[in-house]
Amino acid sequence: MNFQQLRIVRETVRCNFNLTEVAQVLFTSQSGVSKHLKDLEDELGVTLFVRRGKRLLGLTDPGRELLGIVKRVLLDAHNIKQLAEQFSNSEEGSLTIATTHTQARYILPPIVSEFKKHFPKVNLVLHQCHPSEIVQRLQSGKADIGIATEALQDASTITTFPFYTWHHAVVVPHGHELTQVPNLSLEHLAAYPLLTYYDGITGRANIDQAFAELGLKPNIVIAALDSDVIKTYIELGLGVGILAAMSFNPQRDLGLTLLEVPQLFKSNTTQIGVRQGHYLRAYAYRFIESCSARLTEPLVRELLATTKN
């Protein structure tokens, strides 16, 4: 048994049992992948995969049991390498943050800037993606830290820490008639074409819930991932925007007006997530503490230890 065999088992499941894709991911041949899997089965004396001819269709019961162990072994092997690098060179390395556009664009710039002042030799990678992909990147070890409002808390293998709370606001072109409405309501908004976020991101669920509780059906004509894209179409007069309030900048969004409506929608809490069992370098703890001063290294370590599977 060797690490390459274990990697192949893990990637075979990730690639939905397509051995051609597994070979491409691991820079080897399909025949080599097949041989490694067969050798492992022969060594263990059990069948790990359900087969139809030469095709793999899924995992057997022993295969499913083995997969959990394989993931833990490979994670620990990665952690050993991280541990060695931490003590051999604590000021250099890489840190991968998986986050949404809203966080990367409006919240993280000052945090990243301050972090780079203290750790100039750390290669900081920002992956902007959907919350579900953030979870996948954390679980696969492709990201060290995840930052999002959705999805992180629903993943049993991820420990989350509250980052900050925010609310939605209404954004309209300058001079729009809604700027003259003293007590803006959801009934007012439901009368206009609306522009807001995709399902599953940036608090969209709370927007939908607010309208549903009043029996209203909002006319959402454009849904997008990116606040800047939504604001572009608001400026074109295509409708009224419901956006994260922090995405509005009066110095940049010169043709738009922000209407604060904290009474209309529930507040949202953005979370910082770390995969349980994932070894964090010292500078990763510094990054988390830069996000929230109360999230000190001892506290984060304690919470990770108490939730570790």
How far is residue 85's CA from residue 75's CA, in Å, rounded to a whole number?
15
Residue 123, beta-bridge partner list:
94
Domain boundary among 59, 84, 109: 84
**Does 208 share its domain with 135?**
no
**What average pLDDT does this structure show over 133-157?**
93
pLDDT at res. 298: 94
**Does 124 share its domain with 239?**
no
**Does 260 share its domain with 275?**
no
Query: Beta strand pairing status for 168-173 and 240-244?
Result: antiparallel
**Does 172 share its domain with 246?**
yes
pLDDT of 220-249, one tens digit each? 999 999 999 999 999 999 999 999 999 999
CB 226 within 8 A of CB 271: no
Query: Beta strand pairing status for 256-260 and 168-173?
Result: antiparallel
**Does 172 share its domain with 257?**
yes
Domain boundary among 68, 84, 100: 84
Look at 90-104, 192-206, 217-231 and tell me which has the smallest mean pLDDT.
Answer: 90-104
**Does 137 share its domain with 277?**
yes
pLDDT at res. 9: 86
pLDDT at res. 72: 80
pLDDT at res. 30: 87
pLDDT at res. 90: 61
pLDDT exceeds cutoff 70 at 84: no
Domain containing 152 equals 89-165+269-307
How far is residue 240's CA from residue 119's CA, in Å, rounded to a whole number?
42
Residue partners of 236: CB distance under 8 A and separation at least 6: none
Domain boundary among 84, 116, 149: 84
**Does 29 share its domain with 156?**
no
**Does 149 share its domain with 178?**
no
* Phi and psi torsions of 15, nearest 5°: -90, 20
* Phi and psi torsions of 89, nearest 5°: -160, 90
Reported as a pLDDT band with limits 50, 70 and 90, residue 87 is low
Reported as a pLDDT band with limits 50, 70 and 90, residue 293 is very high
**Does 45 share its domain with 72?**
yes
How far is residue 164's CA from residue 175's CA, in Å, rounded to a whole number?
32
Please report, rounded to a whole number, the percentage of residues in the chain having pLDDT higher than 70.
96
Question: Token pair of 249, please?
Answer: 């900048």
**Does 257 share its domain with 130?**
no
CB 114 within 8 A of CB 239: no
**Long-range interactions of 205-214: CB distance < 8 A, separation 24+:** 205/150, 206/168, 206/265, 206/266, 206/268, 207/168, 207/242, 207/265, 209/266, 210/186, 210/264, 210/265, 210/266, 211/186, 214/186, 214/187
Question: Which residue, among 97, 85, 182, 174, has the nearest Cα to 133 in the 3D structure?
Answer: 97
Is the full-model pTM beyond 0.85? no
Question: Token pair of 233, please?
Answer: 């179409």
**What average pLDDT does this structure show over 148-165?**
94
pLDDT at res. 202: 92
pLDDT exceeds cutoff 60 at 181: yes
Residue partners of 256: CB distance under 8 A and separation at least 6: 171, 172, 173, 174, 231, 234, 235, 248
Please report, rounded to a whole number, the percentage of residues in the chain having pLDDT higher than 90.
67
How many domains does the chain divide into?
Answer: 3
Reported as a pLDDT band with limits 50, 70 and 90, residue 122 is very high
pLDDT at res. 74: 81
pLDDT exceeds cutoff 60 at 130: yes
**Does 178 share its domain with 233?**
yes
| Beta-carbon-side half-sphere exposure of residue 6 (alpha carbons within 13 Å) | 15
How far is residue 196's CA from residue 132's CA, in Å, rounded to a whole number?
19
Reported as a pLDDT band with limits 50, 70 and 90, residue 86 is low
**What average pLDDT does this structure show over 272-277?**
93
pLDDT of 28-40, one tens digit each? 998 888 888 988 8
pLDDT at res. 77: 78
Look at 83-87, 111-115, 185-189, 257-261 and tell me which has the smallest mean pLDDT.
Answer: 83-87
**Does 232 share its domain with 281?**
no
- Indicate which CATH number applies to the domain containing 293: 3.40.190.10
R_g over Cα of the chain:
24
Mean per-residue pLDDT of the chain: 91
